Structure 1
Amino acid sequence: MTSIALPENIDSLKAYSSAKSEKLTGTTWLNANESPYAKVYETCFDTLNRYPDPQPEAVIDAYSQYSGIDTDGVVMTRGADEGIELLVRTYCQPDKDSITIFTPTYGMYKVTADTHNVSINELSQQQLADASIAELVSAIGDSKLVFICNPNNPTGSIQPLQRIAQLAESLAKKALIVVDEAYIEFCEQQSCAPLISGLDNIVVLRTLSKAFALAGLRVGFMLSNPKLLAPIRKVIAPYPVSTVVAVIAAQALSADAITQMRRQVSILNVAKKKLISWLQESEIVKEIFSGEGNFVTLQLTDKCYVQIATQMGLIMRPFLLYGQDNWLRISIGNEQELKQVKSWLAVCRQAEEV
């Protein structure tokens, strides 16, 4: 029996390992940057025999009003991940073009590029923050897409609007600046969406998975100028958004729901400050990246403390960072969930004393 040979780039592909792909058991889940808030939505099932609107008007109108971008500059996608994939597939030629990323950052930029046989120009977050614009332009070279996760996952760092605008201006007609704003609701004033009207090469990616507490719905948006989005509209699947998803998304984007979301974000931002204070007092914590977003990334003095958390049913996200395997990301949960983190810190302290 013969097997079908895979393309070399797929055969060697290292798949993205999401928090949910790890088969763990626990009682408190703070590993996927999910919102702790759940809400009941009304659904409609009497039109499922018909294909959905490819770009549901009610959702596009609502997100246009929310984001301040005209409706012809909004594309709804299956999570922000589909936006990443569409940009690479549309604008990059396989085995020829490249993208630039600034590591450590969200892993799907690399996985998507590898899937499409597009090269990766890997620069650092430190370069993004500290290098001059001229140095960045030189380092980016001839990359077609430049991905900036802002706020960045997992460091929480954020680049000022003016710096991103200067970079975009310097790369005009050379590259697209893709600003991934998955966590922007936690620092709304830092959004790059206002740059779209004055710059032709800015794309902003958004999601309802984080602050809007709809990770299970898989809804994202791509914001840009209509001319840049035109080829995306040719490439996107004919019916990317299901009717049920569109109905729920429209409700989530109502004025009252947005007000509720912002109230929840304020609560989570306060809770984050409290968590940081606990971590700063803990002897098992070596370094803390607070930054923006609904998470805190930290370095432990010893990775064995993660195992203690798992035994307590507390699931957080350990990972390798800067060549060291004692890093941990903690999502901001509700009051009860964060009390579990405080209890874990106390147990670890006792273990260290023994």
Structure 2
Amino acid sequence: MTNIALPENIEKLKAYSSAKSEKLTGNTWLNANESPYTRLLEMRFDNLNRYPDPQPEAVIEGYARYAQVEQSNVLMTRGADEGIELLVRTYCEPSKDSIAIFTPTYGMYKVTANTHNIAINELSQEQLANEDTDALLPAIGEAKLVFVCNPNNPTGALQPIRKVAALADKLKGRAIVVVDEAYIEFCEDKSCVELIKTFPNVVVLRTLSKAFALAGLRVGFMLASESLLAPIRKVIAPYPVSTVVAQIAATALTSDALTQMRRQVSILNLAKKKLIQWLQNSEFVNAILCGEGNFVTLQLTDKQFVQQAMRQGLIMRPFVLFGEDNWLRISIGNEQELKQVETWLKQCQVTEEVS
């Protein structure tokens, strides 16, 4: 065992617990907001002896076309998580600066800040939704980065574009507004990407993990003004994306692939409506957060029902939300997978009646 002392912030760091952190056993996986669709690829590689293009041209061109921005406004990263880390590492000075977040929200904002010894100004999702911009500013304080997960994970809450624009306007010259749009394909017309053309302090994070059904590829994008991205280009690793990843990502951005992605999103959105109906009809569901994204977050009357589901091989994501431990997030799967959720809900009722 090494005797080298850790920095205090790392010693105290609580690691992010992803849906795949726990070694669970199951046959239906609805816990990580993954797409139920698979992609079959046939590819040949005869140049793996060479280093890859740091920012592969075909991918940058394809994503710029898809997002309707200039290629100079696109930076490819190893998942949106690397985008979060790069922003904190580039724009925040350890032990001096802070970020602002609106909780409950995606846990990697907090973990990344703690890793770099950056303070956290914590506001609530309720404040973000209900207070005007001027009222938010005192709590945001001197934060260098303001993270708005939109749609928010795990609540699904979606802030209107005008609210994000107002926030960016008030923070011009003071802070960067980071709009995390990991789930935006499920409500495509609500994207804030147009704001990067007006506000030099807005950055939009995107991913191929959700709607594009490529979670295993670990591909993300930062969309922002050239001036905002310029210092990040100095900080990012020299070869962040492998040749294999780049070629697969390029195929996902072709016209036919985008049409298929949007078709799958439509199917998943319809399936989500059906799941919500089942949950609304269950007397063992206290509340449903009917937000956007490929998931539904709900509160059960009893958290023991989650253990019952796990015994059946149905793996969903339990949460502690608003100080209560009986919350559950269900990813939207295919028809067969969601039928298992329906069966589980009915069996919860049988168990309750027998007991």
**What TM-score does the superposition give when structure 2 sets the normalisation length?**
0.99
Is 1:279–2:258 an aligned residue pair? no
Matched residue, 2:77: 77
Shift in Å, 1:43: 2.4
Matched residue, 1:90: 90
Partners of 2:59 and 2:251 in 1: how far apart? 9
Cα pair 1:75 1:222 within 8 Å, conserved: yes
Runs of 4+ with deviation above 4 angstroms: none
Partners of 2:291 and 2:223 in 1: how far apart? 24
Matched residue, 1:63: 63
- What does 1:167-206 correspond to in 2, within 5 Å? 167-206=167-206
Matched residue, 2:256: 256
Matched residue, 2:146: 146
Partners of 1:120 and 1:7 in 2: how far apart? 18
Cα pair 1:148 1:179 within 8 Å, conserved: yes
Amino acid aligned to 1:29: W
Matched residue, 1:338: 338
Partners of 2:61 and 2:309 in 1: how far apart? 44
Residues 209-250 of structure 1: CA distance to partner in whole angstroms, max 9, x if unpaired?
000000000000000000000000000000000000000000
Cα pair 1:44 1:244 within 8 Å, conserved: no
Amino acid aligned to 1:304: Q
Amino acid aligned to 1:226: E
Shift in Å, 1:2: 5.9
Where in structure 1 are there 5+ consecutive unaligned residues?
Answer: none
Matched residue, 1:156: 156
Shift in Å, 1:126: 0.4
Matched residue, 1:320: 320
Partners of 1:215 and 1:189 in 2: how far apart? 23
Matched residue, 1:51: 51
Cα pair 1:44 1:247 within 8 Å, conserved: no
Cα pair 1:42 1:248 within 8 Å, conserved: no
Shift in Å, 1:132: 1.4
- What does 1:222-233 correspond to in 2, within 5 Å? 222-233=222-233
Residues 151-191 of structure 1: CA distance to partner in whole angstroms, max 9, x if unpaired?
00000000000010011001000000000000000000000
Matched residue, 1:107: 107
Amino acid aligned to 2:339: K
Partners of 2:274 and 2:216 in 1: how far apart? 27
Residues 116-144 of structure 1: CA distance to partner in whole angstroms, max 9, x if unpaired?
00000000000001111101122211100
Amino acid aligned to 2:191: S
Partners of 2:278 and 2:74 in 1: how far apart? 41
Partners of 1:196 and 1:80 in 2: how far apart? 17
| Aligned partner of residue 196 in structure 1, secondary structure | helix
**What TM-score does the superposition give when structure 1 sets the normalisation length?**
0.99
Amino acid aligned to 2:251: Q
Matched residue, 1:212: 212
Partners of 1:116 and 1:190 in 2: how far apart? 32
Amino acid aligned to 2:202: I
Where in structure 2 are there 5+ consecutive unaligned residues?
Answer: none
Root mean square deviation, CA, Å: 0.7
Partners of 1:141 and 1:24 in 2: how far apart? 41
Shift in Å, 1:42: 2.8
Number of corresponding residues: 354
* Overall identity of the aligned pairs, in %: 73
